[in-house]
Amino acid sequence: MTESLEAASPVLSIRNLKTHFFTDLGVVPAVDGVDLEVFAGQTLGVVGESGCGKSVTGLSAMRLVAPPGKIVSGEILLRDENLLTLTEKEMQQRRGRDLGMIFQEPMTSLDPLYPVRDPLMEALLAHTAMTKQEALQESIRLLGAVGIPNPEKRVNSYPHELSGGMRQRVMIAVALSCKPAVLIADEPTTALDVTVQAQILALLRDLQKETGTAILMITHNLGLVAENCQTVAVMYAGKVVEKAPVRTLFKNPRHPYTQGLLRAVPRLDHPPKQPLPTIPGMVPNPLRLPTGCRFRSRCLFAIDKCAAEQPPLAELGGGHVSACWVQPEFSLVPSETRAAS
Amino acid sequence: MTEPLIRVENLTKHFHSGGGFLGGSASTVRAVDGISFEVLRGETLGLVGESGSGKSTTGRLLLRLVEPTSGMAYYENQELFGLSASEMKPLRRKMQIVFQDPYGSLNPRMTVSNILREGLEPLGLSRTEEEAEITRLLEIVGLRSTHRNRYPHEFSGGQRQRIGIARALAVKPEFLIADEPVSALDVSIQAQVLNLLLELQQRLNLTMLFIAHDLAVVRHMSDRIAVMYLGKIVEIAESGQIYLNPRHPYTRSLLAAIPIPDPDAKPAETSADPGAQSVRSEGCVFRSRCSFATDKCAQEPALVEVEPGHLSACHFANTLPSL
Ligand SMILES: Nc1ncnc2c1ncn2[C@@H]1O[C@H](COP(=O)(O)OP(=O)(O)OP(=O)(O)O)[C@@H](O)[C@H]1O
Ligand SMILES: Nc1ncnc2c1ncn2[C@@H]1O[C@H](COP(=O)(O)OP(=O)(O)OP(=O)(O)O)[C@@H](O)[C@H]1O
Ligand SMILES: [Mg+2]
Ligand SMILES: [Mg+2]
C-alpha cells in the first residue's frame, strides 16, 4: 500500500517552508525548513510540542500568516501550482474551494456579530452556483451533518449562544461546505465529546471517500492519530523531527522526543492520580536556539555530536525518517538505567 | 467522612433566545436542568458529557458568572446565589476557573505579567514579591520568565492555556474549576500540567471540578465522575466504577468511542445517526439515541442509586449487559 502511495503525486506539498516572526525582541523562526506532503484520500497527522509551529505551518499553506509573521522561503504546491506566487485575489479563490481550514480557535474565528448562517452562506455563495435559498438549505443540511441539533433554528444562533463544541462544529461545517481538495484541520475536535468526535471523523472519512480530499490533521490527540492518519509527522521547535507510517511511528519511534510523547499519554490502564511520565525541561527559546539538535538539552541520549551538528532527517526505510544522531530503540516504559544516569 | 465543600441542589439554568430570521419561534435552551451533586473537600469531581450538555454553564453558575433560573449552591454552608456582590467577593478569591477558551478569556491588550498581576492584586504583595511570584507561576506552568512581557496573541494555543492556568493559581484558590484545562496542550505539557494539578491538590488540599472530553485524562484526575447529557446528570460514581461498570447507555457509548493511541487497537465506535442526537423528547433525555430504549422510557427516569455511591438515571440500569 505504501508503495502505491509514494508513486502517486501529492495534492499539497510544503517544501522547505520557513515562516518567521519579526518581533521587537528578534526573529522567531516559528517554522524553520519544513517539508510535508499530503496525498489525495489520505490523512497526514501533525503532532508536536505546543508552540512548535504546527498552526503556523497550516496558516502558511493558506497564506493567512499575519504580520509580524512572514513566509521567508519555500514552496507551497497545490498539485503543480506554487501558491506563494499567486496574487492575493487568486489566492482568495483557492481558499474555501481548493483549500479549506478548520481553525484552532472557533471562538475567535467566528464573528460574534453575525449569526452562524452568515459564514456558511458566504462560503457557498462565493464558490458555488447556489441561489440564496439553496445556500440556506445547504447550510442547514451541513449543520445537521456535523451533528448540531435543530439546525433549522441553530442556523440563526449567534456564536455566544453556542457551546464550545457547537462553535467548533460550525467551523467544521464552513470548512467542509465547498468540499475542498485539501483540508487543513487544526485541532478539529478538541471541544467535542468522544461520540461526536467519532461522528465528525466518520464525516471526514466519507468526504475523503467521496471527493478524495487530502487532509492535514493537526492534533494533540494520539488516539485520533492512531485511528485516522496514514502518515504522521512530529514537529519540534519549528522542524519536522520524525515522520513515518502510522504503525511505525507508534511501534518503533526512533526520535527521543517522539518516544517521550508516547510515554506521556495517559492511558486508561495507568494507575490514576499518579504522576505521568513527562519530558523534563522546556522547549528552547526561539530567539536563542542552541547549536546542533534543538532537543538535546532535554534528551537522555544526547552525545557530544548533538551539540556540534544538527542531525538531518535520516532515512530508516519504509518511508520512516528521523532527525537524531542516536536513533535509540523504543519501549513504552523508560529504561531504569537511562533514568538513573 | 470528608464533608462537602460544594453542594448543588436542583440547579437549573434556562437560556432564552429570541425568534428571528425565517420566523423561527423564540426558544428556551435548558442548559442545566435540575442537577444535584456534591464535591468533597480535597477531591476531584470529573464532569464529562456531550458537547452542549451544560458542563461549562454549571461551572459558570458556581462562580456566579451567570445567574441561575432556580436551585441552590452552597460553598461550605454558605448559599451562593443569595449573596450580594460584596458578600461574594471573598469567595471569588477562593474559587477560580481556568476557561475552556484561552484566547477569549485573556485580555489581548495586557502583557502576561499584567494579567498575572491582576490575579495577585488581592494578596497585597510588594512589587518585588509580586515579580518573584510571577516568575514562580510562569515556571510552574512551564513558561519562560522572559515571556512576561509578551501579549497573548504572541503565544500558541497551548501556551495561552498555561497563562490561564497560572492566572487561576495566582490567588491560591481552594476550589478550582478546570474547564478543559488541557485540551489545547500537547501530551507532554498536558502531563506536566496534570502532574502539577495533582501535586497542588495534595499540597494545598485543592478541591476540583474537572471538566474534560478526554476520558483517559478525566479518569486519571478524578476521584468521582459525573456524566451529563442535555442538562442532566445521567450517571455519577467513583471513577473506577464508571469505567468498569457503567450503568447508563450514554456512558457506555462514550466509553466505546474513546480513540485508543494504538494503531493496532479496534477503532472507536460511531453511533449511527448524528442528526438524531440531542433531540429532546418527553421522558428520558437519551431516549432518541439509545439502543436499549423501550416505551417505558417515555417516563423520565430518576437518578437513583444502583450500588453504594453509584447513581444512574436509566430504567434499565440494573439490567444493562456488562461491557
Ligand atoms: N504574532 C506572533 N508574534 C510572535 N511569535 C508568534 C506569533 N504567532 C506565533 N508565534 C510563535 O510561533 C510559534 C509557533 O506557533 P504555533 O501557533 O504554530 O504553535 P502550535 O504548534 O500550533 O502550538 P499549539 O499546539 O499550542 O497550538 C510559537 O512559538 C509562537 O510563540
Ligand atoms: N449565553 C447563552 N445564550 C444562549 N444559550 C447559551 C448561552 N450559553 C450557553 N448556552 C447554551 O447552553 C447549552 C449548554 O452550554 P455549555 O457551554 O454549558 O455546554 P458544555 O457542556 O460546556 O459544552 P462543550 O463541551 O461544547 O463546551 C448549549 O445548548 C448552549 O448553546
Ligand atoms: Mg496551534
Ligand atoms: Mg464547555
Supply the DSSP symbol for A206.
H
pLDDT of the residue at B52: 86
Report the pLDDT value the prediction gives residue A230, as an integer from 0 to 100: 97
User: Residue B276: its pLDDT value, please?
Assistant: 42
What is the model's pLDDT at position A51? 85
Who wins on pLDDT, B321 or B275?
Answer: B321
> What is the atom index within ligand 2 of the atom nearest the CA of A163?
17
Number of other CB atoms surrounding residue A67 within 10 Å: 7
- Residue B18 binned pLDDT confidence (cut-offs 50, 70, 90): low
A163 alpha carbon – ligand 4 mean position (Å)? 6
Residues of B within 8 A of A227 (CB-CB) are 259-260, 263, 267-268
Round to whole Å and give the CA distance between B64 and B85: 10
First to last CA, chain A: 42
pLDDT in tens, B58-74: 999 999 999 999 999 99
Q: For B188, which of A164, A201, A261 is closest by C-beta distance?
A: A261
d(CA A97, CA A90): 12
Contacts with B, A 239-278, CB within 8 Å? 246-247, 250-251, 260-262, 264-268, 270, 272-273, 275-278
Interval B23-42 mean pLDDT: 84
pLDDT at position B155, please?
80
Tell me which DSSP letter residue A39 carries.
Answer: -
Residue B26 C-alpha, separation from nearest chain A C-alpha, in angstroms: 9
The residue whose grid cell reads 532535554 is A298
Q: Which atom of ligand 2 is nearest to the CA of A162?
A: 31
HSE of A335, CA atoms in CB hemisphere, 13 A: 10
Instruction: Tell the residue nearest (CA) to atom 2 of ligand 2.
Output: A161
pLDDT in tens, B265-306: 877 776 544 444 445 668 999 988 898 999 999 999 999 999
Helix (H) or strand (E) holding B227: strand B224-229
Residue to substitute from A157, A195, A236, A263, interface B, most B β-carbons within 10 A? A195
Neighbouring CB atoms inside 10 A of B15's CB total: 14
Kindly state the cell numbers that stand for A78: 497545490
Whose Cα sits closest to atom 17 in ligand 1? B156
Amino acid letter at B155? F
CA distance A328 to A337: 14
- Burial label for A185, CB within 10 Å (0-12, 13-18, 19+), is buried
**Secondary structure (3-state) at A65:** coil
- What is the C-alpha separation between B204 and B12, in angstroms, rounded? 31
Q: What is the band of B35 on the pLDDT scale with cuts at 50, 70, 90?
A: very high
A31, A47, A163, best to mutate vs chain B, most B CBs in 10 Å = A163
Three cell numbers, residue A248: 511505525
Instruction: Answer yes or no: is pLDDT of B27 > 80.
Output: no
What is the Å distance from ligand 4's center to B306 Cα? Answer: 28
CA gap A267, B256 in Å, rounded:
15
Probe ligand 2: pick from A116, A162, A194, A195, max atoms within 8 Å of CB? A162
Task: Enumerate the residues of chain A whose CB falls inside 8 A of the CB of residue B268.
Answer: 194, 198, 223, 227
On the question of a cis peptide bond just before residue A68, with omega within 30 degrees of 0, the verdict is yes
User: Of ligand 1's atoms, which has the minimum distance to the CA of residue B155?
Assistant: 31
8 Å CB contact of A268 and B261: no
- Cell digits of residue B190: 498536558
Please say whether the beta carbons of A262 and A333 come within 8 A: no
- Judge residue B200's burial from the number of C-beta atoms within 10 Å of its C-beta, 0-12 exposed, 13-18 middle, 19 or more buried: middle
Pick the residue of A111, A146, A150, A194 with the most B CBs within 10 A to test the interface with B by mutation: A194
CA of B190 to the centre of ligand 1 (A): 17
Q: What is the dihedral of CA A219, A220, A223, A225, to 10 degrees?
A: 40
Average pLDDT over residues B247-272: 85
DSSP assignment of A246-278 equals HHHHHHS--SHHHHHHHHHS--TTSPTTSPPP-
Note whether B130 and B117 are within 8 A (CB): yes
User: Which of B16, B17, B57 best tests ligand 2's pocket when mutated (most atoms within 8 Å of CB)?
Assistant: B57
User: Is there a contact between B282 and B258 (Cβ–Cβ < 8 Å)?
Assistant: no
| Secondary element (H or E) of residue B85 | helix B85-94
Three cell numbers, residue B31: 442548559
Q: For chain A, how long is the longest CA-to-CA vector?
A: 69
Q: What is the mean pLDDT of residues B2-26?
A: 77
Chain A residues with beta carbon closer than 8 angstroms to that of B213:
190-194, 197
> Using CA atoms, how far apart are residues A59 and A67, in angstroms rounded to an integer?
12
- Chain B residues with CB under 8 Å of A232 CB are none
B57 exposure class (CB count in 10 Å sphere: 0-12, 13-18, 19+): buried
Contact between A184 and A218 under an 8 Å Cβ cutoff? The reply is yes
Q: Is the shortest distance between the CB of A21 and ligand 1 below 6 Å?
A: yes
CB B4 within 8 A of CB B175: no
State the average pLDDT over residues B184-189: 83
> Which one has a higher pLDDT value, B232 or B270?
B232
pLDDT at B24: 44
Backbone angles phi and psi of A30, in degrees to 5: -60, -40
pTM for the model = 0.87
Name the amino acid, one letter, at B270: T
Amino acid at A228: N
**Under-70 pLDDT residues of chain A:** 1-7, 106-108, 334-341
Rounded Cα distance, B323 and B316, in Å: 14
Mean pLDDT of chain B: 87
The response to whether residue A50 sits with its C-beta less than 6 Å from ligand 1 reads: yes
Q: Which of A18, A19, A27, A56 to mutate to test the pocket of ligand 1 (most atoms within 8 A of CB)?
A: A56
Task: Return the HEC string of A101-123.
Answer: EECCCHHHHCCCCCCCHHHHHHH
Pairing of strands B95-98, B310-312: unpaired
Beta bridge partners of B97: B177
Percent of chain B with pLDDT over 90: 54
pLDDT of residue B1: 56
Looking at chain A, the number of H-run helices and the number of E-run strands are: 14, 12
Predicted local confidence at residue B277, as pLDDT: 45
Report the candidate in A4, A51, A57 with the shortest Cα–Cα distance to residue A33.
A57
Say if CB B287 and CB B281 are below 8 A apart: yes
What is the per-residue pLDDT across B81-101, written as a single tens digit (0 to 9) for each? 999 999 998 898 899 998 866
- State the nearest Cα–Cα gap between A80 and chain B, in angstroms: 31
Q: How far is ligand 3, taken at its centre, from the CA of residue A282, in Å?
A: 17
Determine the distance separating the centroid of ligand 2 and the alpha carbon of B231, expressed in angstroms.
9
Distance from the Cα of A67 to chain B's closest Cα (Å) equals 11
Q: How far apart are CA B198 and CA B188, in angstroms?
A: 15
Distance from C-alpha of B170 to C-alpha of B158, rounded to nearest angstrom:
19
Q: Are strands B95-98 and B175-179 parallel, antiparallel or unpaired?
A: parallel
Average pLDDT score over residue span B245-262? 92
Q: Can you tell me the distance from the alpha carbon of A254 to that of B306, in angstroms, rounded to the nearest whole number?
A: 48
